[in-house]
Structure 1
């Protein structure tokens, strides 16, 4: 539930709201689905949770009042923006140590993502 008592509906983007096999530049919800989502947004808090970054989602999820981006590394709710990187930089978590440990496995691919402010979230 949202703070105003409305139920929140959160949807995955890739393969749920957009076709799973669509090329990145064509990964948009259908017009019919957009109409349904816009209707839901009139009654509920509608959000999108995705591995994509803000700049990819900006023109694709106008119906959403909440975006959980980059697999949780960034959250946007109206004018409030939270990035995990800022929490790491504040000394709450050792981002560099986690990165070095994960990248040393040889089986890791990390796509570059930028936050709403344009700063790099991951490389």
Structure 2
């Protein structure tokens, strides 16, 4: 792809997960938009930061009796403050017994809960998750006029609404999104590299 194009990543993952995996990214939208790295600029959602300091999300997630098949991922800010928790139970083959109590208590505490239809994981955040923040910052600060956005889950909906060209990337878990998201193109994950070559090298 041409070096004149600005390539960024907007992910539910944190900086510590992504930093060595996407060294080419000029923009990083982290923890579903709660943090943004744009060159030397660092932006963090104030509400999320304040609530996270009060609630201590990592300690909160440890209060529940998770089975061995459950992977609990704590999503930390660049400064090390937990802003989110992901409960991944793909290894269980069923819904964990502690999940209902965890979600109920999360909502009672005023946390933002994201559940994904057909997906064996849930996310909980200390602030409102919104990947469109990343796109808005790129427009305002860098003057980018045309944004292509690739998404594959419900948490991409706000960014899809902000983007100029919306590409839904299909995988084994998200076929239902064809009837949910407003998109311009739909691409199977296995065909994405070829689609990019055709679209941007033509």
**Normalising to structure 2: TM-score of the pair?**
0.30
**Normalising to structure 1: TM-score of the pair?**
0.46
